[in-house]
């Protein structure tokens, strides 16, 4: 039992020897708190979540006061309406569009010229250019400032979507009508979730640097909500749209076939096929084939910069292969056979776990399996920048909801404590760890380690509640798991 147990509050009414205190008002307050905790375990659990979020906000503030990289600076700019002109994604995408405008008939040379010869890190599929061309057809001039204005709106919608996810989830996890404690806890969690999302550094950092990942995060939050609400076809469409921006999510097609999620799979296939056909018609079949050469190159070289939170990045830092502290704008680390073999083994192992997973029974198990697969497809990539883990924001919101609904029996202590620590590690920028000496370089993979912890939890939940964790059994209105 945890701190909301009435015995904890009873301490307030006695001294350390167990004798009664003479302060009767304090005893009365302790009694009221004890009664509230015993009768409202889920509400008290959400108050604990508020405490963790407050710690994250405090760390951001301390980092800002110390002059370090902090989400506080990004939130300040959001509040005063200052839109960044950064163009991490936009610059190379605009270069690709301009190249296509100048070479409309040079099918097959896009990546050879832009990526390999001109050394622009345009690592996106041609399908990712379709939204920008739609904006041009609407009469907009494509500039980083315009796209960051759009990102600002999408980021705010994403944060609200995380709150909406916390609102709809309890009705799917709890059997029967929600009691007063559950309704109050759900409201409190749904209200704080958007704020927690805006404190989650991987989510807001993508906006700060001008990243296409902001669109992916929003689509993924929408996919989580539609899956929970039972709209599998809509989820398939949203994942199909993500595939146009992030092709590795195309692995969901195989996942859907293995899980026999037919409506999801058909919608994903239809959306992806339509987007690919349109892209081939506009940009040429040869340019799409050229993208495969880019993917091969990226898998062989990876990235050594500390922000690459993947097995490849971890191995790059262990072997000190390439520049760890400064991002190579126009270069990649040299090919290293041990790093390549190790990262490929990890990727194969991750995908094998996902596709061969024997999930448990229960109507919520499929959702745990869905978000588990999404996180695996992100972490298994040779290059997984910190902003790619923006999808952890809704996943942490799901885990917080499950933990809250399991009160007062929230599973083993390591689950509760580990979840709070993992969120804290993932939510704040720890770039200062890049100066750690020697093999302490591994500490720079803090976000990757937090993701691995979350993956372990989701695996256990998808298996039906291994290790004493919540599984697929619906909870009664006033019952903890």
CA-CA distance, 355 to 196, in Å (whole number)?
A: 32
CA-CA distance, 140 to 155, in Å (whole number)?
A: 21
How far, CA to CA in Å, does 68 sit from each of 59, 63, 430, 468? Answer: 11, 5, 10, 40
Check the CA dihedral 420-424-426-431 and report its sign.
Answer: negative
C-alpha closest to that of 287 among 142, 127, 121: 127
Terminal alpha carbon distance of the chain: 12
Helix (H) or strand (E) holding 476: strand 475-476
Strand partners, 308: 385
Tens place of pLDDT per residue across the chain (481 aa): 444 444 444 434 444 344 454 555 665 555 555 544 555 888 999 999 999 999 999 999 999 998 888 999 999 999 998 999 999 999 999 999 999 999 988 778 999 999 999 999 999 999 999 999 999 999 999 999 999 999 999 999 999 999 999 999 998 888 778 889 989 999 999 999 999 999 999 999 999 999 999 999 999 999 999 999 999 999 999 999 999 999 999 999 999 999 999 999 999 999 999 999 999 999 999 999 999 999 999 999 999 998 999 999 999 988 989 888 888 888 999 999 999 999 999 999 999 999 998 887 777 889 999 999 999 999 999 999 999 999 999 999 999 999 888 876 666 777 888 999 999 999 999 877 767 766 677 788 999 999 999 999 999 988 876 666 666 555 555 544 4
Q: Are 106 and 114 in contact (CB under 8 A)?
A: no
DSSP labels, 124-147: S-GGGGHHHHHHHHTT----HHHH
DSSP labels, 351-392: HHHHHT----SSTTHHHHHHHHHHHHHHHTSS--BGGGGGGH
Q: Is 333 exposed, middle or buried (0-12, 13-18, 19+ CB in 10 A)?
A: buried
Alpha-carbon 199 to chain mean position: 13
Alpha-carbon 149 to chain mean position: 22
Q: What is the pLDDT of residue 12?
A: 41
Encoded tokens for 464: 């039906």
Q: Model's pTM, two decimal places?
A: 0.90
C-alpha closest to that of 248 among 375, 160, 145, 142: 375
Question: Residues for the chain: how many in total?
Answer: 481
Q: Omega of the bond prior to 398 within 30 degrees of 0, cis?
A: no
Residue 329 sits at the vertex; the CA angle it makes with 452 and 320, to the nearest 5 degrees, is: 55
Q: Is 316 helix (H, G, I), strand (E, B) or coil?
A: helix
């Amino acid at each position: 039992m945890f701190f909301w147990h009435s015995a904890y509050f009873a301490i307030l009414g006695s001294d350390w020897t167990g004798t009664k205190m003479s302060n009767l008002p304090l005893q009365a307050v302790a009694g009221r708190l004890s009664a509230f905790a015993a009768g409202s375990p889920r509400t008290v659990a959400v108050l604990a979540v508020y405490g963790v979020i407050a710690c994250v906000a405090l760390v951001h503030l301390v980092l800002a006061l110390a002059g370090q990289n902090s989400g506080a600076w990004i939130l300040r700019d959001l509040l005063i309406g200052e839109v960044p002109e950064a163009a991490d994604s936009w610059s190379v995408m605009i270069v690709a569009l301009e190249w296509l405008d100048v070479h409309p008939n040079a099918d097959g040379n896009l990546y050879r010229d832009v990526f390999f010869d001109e050394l622009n890190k345009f690592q996106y599929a041609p399908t990712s250019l379709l939204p920008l061309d739609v904006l041009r057809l609407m009469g907009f001039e494509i500039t980083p400032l315009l796209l960051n204005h759009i990102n600002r709106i999408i980021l705010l919608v994403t944060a609200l979507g995380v709150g909406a996810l916390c609102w709809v989830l309890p009705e799917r996890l709890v059997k029967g009508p929600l009691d007063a404690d559950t309704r109050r806890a759900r409201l409190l969690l749904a209200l704080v979730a958007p704020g927690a999302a805006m404190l989650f550094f991987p989510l807001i950092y993508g906006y700060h640097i001008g990243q296409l990942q902001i669109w992916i995060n929003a689509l993924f939050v929408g996919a989580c909500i539609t899956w929970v609400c039972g709209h599998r076809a809509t989820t398939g469409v949203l994942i199909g749209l993500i595939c146009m921006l992030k092709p590795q999510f195309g692995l969901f097609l195989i996942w859907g076939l293995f899980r026999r999620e037919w409506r999801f799979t058909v919608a994903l296939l239809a959306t992806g096929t339509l987007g690919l056909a349109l892209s081939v018609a506009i940009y040429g079949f040869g340019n799409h084939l050229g993208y495969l050469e880019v993917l091969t190159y990226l898998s062989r070289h990876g990235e050594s910069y500390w922000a690459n939170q993947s097995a490849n990045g971890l191995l790059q830092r262990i072997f000190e292969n390439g520049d760890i502290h400064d991002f190579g704008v126009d270069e990649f680390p040299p090919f290293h056979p041990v790093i390549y073999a190790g990262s490929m083994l990890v990727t194969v192992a991750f995908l094998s776990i996902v596709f061969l997973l024997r999930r448990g029974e229960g109507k919520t198990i499929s959702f745990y399996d869905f978000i588990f697969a999404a996180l695996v497809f992100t972490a298994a990539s040779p290059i997984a920048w910190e902003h790619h883990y923006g999808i952890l924001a809704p996943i942490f919101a799901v885990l917080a909801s499950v933990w809250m609904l399991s009160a007062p029996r929230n599973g083993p202590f390591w689950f509760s404590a580990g979840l709070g620590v993992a969120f804290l590690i993932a939510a704040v920028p720890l770039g200062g760890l890049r100066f750690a000496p020697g093999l302490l370089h591994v500490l720079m993979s803090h976000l990757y380690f937090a993701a691995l912890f979350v993956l372990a939890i989701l695996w256990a939940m998808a298996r039906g509640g291994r290790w004493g964790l919540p599984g697929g059994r619906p909870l009664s209105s006033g019952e903890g798991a």
